[in-house]
Amino acid sequence: MKLLVLPGDGIGPEIVAAAMEVTQAADTRFGLGLVFDHDEVGFPSLEKHGTTLREDLLQRARRDYQGVILGTQSHADYPAPEKGGRNVSAGFRIRLDLYANVRPARTRPFLESNMKPGKTMDLVIMREATEGFYPDRNMARGWAEMMPDPDMALSVRKITRRGSDRIARRAFELAMKRRKKVTAIHKANSFHMTDGLFLECVRNVAREFPEVALNDMLVDASTAHLIRNPERFDVLVATNFYGDILSDMASELSGSLGLAGSMMAGDTQCCAQAQHGSAPDIQGRDIANPTSMILSVAMMLGWLGEHHHRPEYENAAAAIDAAVDAVLANPRTRTRDIGGDAGCKAFGMAVAKAIE
């Protein structure tokens, strides 16, 4: 299979390089037959091509590749869209229709978490990624935020039946492989039409999965329950904005944003992308934690294996997960942010060695 590798901004090139070390080790051990092409997005692309994301690159990604390894981006520092500062993640999500942002969060017994003593977490947030409150991805033309006058700002939210149906179905399919529980996150008591439509769709899909227990929860209440009793959650399904916030919260509670993988998946393609940002303040210092990027690639390989009926890909994903945990379990091979002194490159090499 062909993968497109895009290192991105900040620590992106470092964590992607570590993830590639691991991926190539898995490729060799399991005979995956992977082919890698490299290109540029973000600031390197802006300097070279005048835009952070070229349209021809998106077209090639959609046409020629089964998967994408996408490094971190410094979106907040990009120029305005009309000056070339295109949102890279949003571009891939919309043009490749990567509507399911899958974000797991789990505690590890050998690592300290940020939860109350004795509390554990093992959940997955299934976040819709192509509509919702995000103004750069819910209009056919133009932008969904506007200022009628200098003292008034408006934003348009889009929730569709199609978008809600398919993210709900992916959530229930995932729950069938886990503990068979889905929690729908919403605010339908305030957003009667938009969250109401989302909740209606989730309940309709639930009828197709009688073995899965469905409950729903207000988004504000869900934050309290994540802290108080995270064990109650298995798979959470949410619209774009709620899922974005809750997934960062859950990952940080479970230990660190740097420890949680993330993938963006559609019906035919998948993209591995770390949960965290580009951290330009530590760029080039070899102290970034590449765990999230490595686990994101493992998620992508597992997805490719399942959708293309390639069990060796699923075996490789499981081996990467196990290797990451083995390296994290040893305090001497952890990165600085979680109490060790290993560098980004050394961590990647240690995981690759564990796979070999």
Q: Is 220 a catalytic residue?
A: yes
Catalytic choice (77, 220, 267, 341): 220
Residue 134 annotated as catalytic = yes
Catalytic residue (one of 134, 195, 242, 313)? 134
Residue 244 bridge partners (DSSP): none
Distance between the two ends of the chain, CA-based, in angstroms?
21
What is the separation of C-alpha 315 from the centre of its chain, rounded to a whole number of angstroms? 21
Give the whole-angstrom CA distance, residue 130 versus residue 91. Answer: 10
Three-state DSSP state, 2:
strand
Burial group, residue 62, by CB count within 10 angstroms (0-12, 13-18, 19+): middle
Catalytic residue among 9, 187, 195, 234: 187
- Dihedral of CA 105/99/306/30: which sign? negative
Q: Which of 27, 97, 234, 244 is catalytic?
A: 244
Catalytic residue among 39, 136, 248, 337: 248
Residue 267 among the catalytic residues:
no
Pairwise CA distance, residues 21 & 297, whole Å: 11
Helix, strand, coil percentages (3-state) for the chain, rounded to 5, are: 45, 20, 35
The answer to whether 125 and 103 have CB atoms below 8 angstroms apart is yes
Q: Any catalytic annotation for residue 165? A: no
56 is catalytic: no
Segments in 219-283 forming alpha helices (H): 219-228, 240-254
Q: Strand, helix or coil at 255?
A: coil
DSSP string across 4-54? EEE--STTHHHHHHHHHHHHHHHHHHHT---EEEE---SHHHHHHHSSSS-
Question: Could you list the active site residues?
Answer: 134, 187, 220, 244, 248
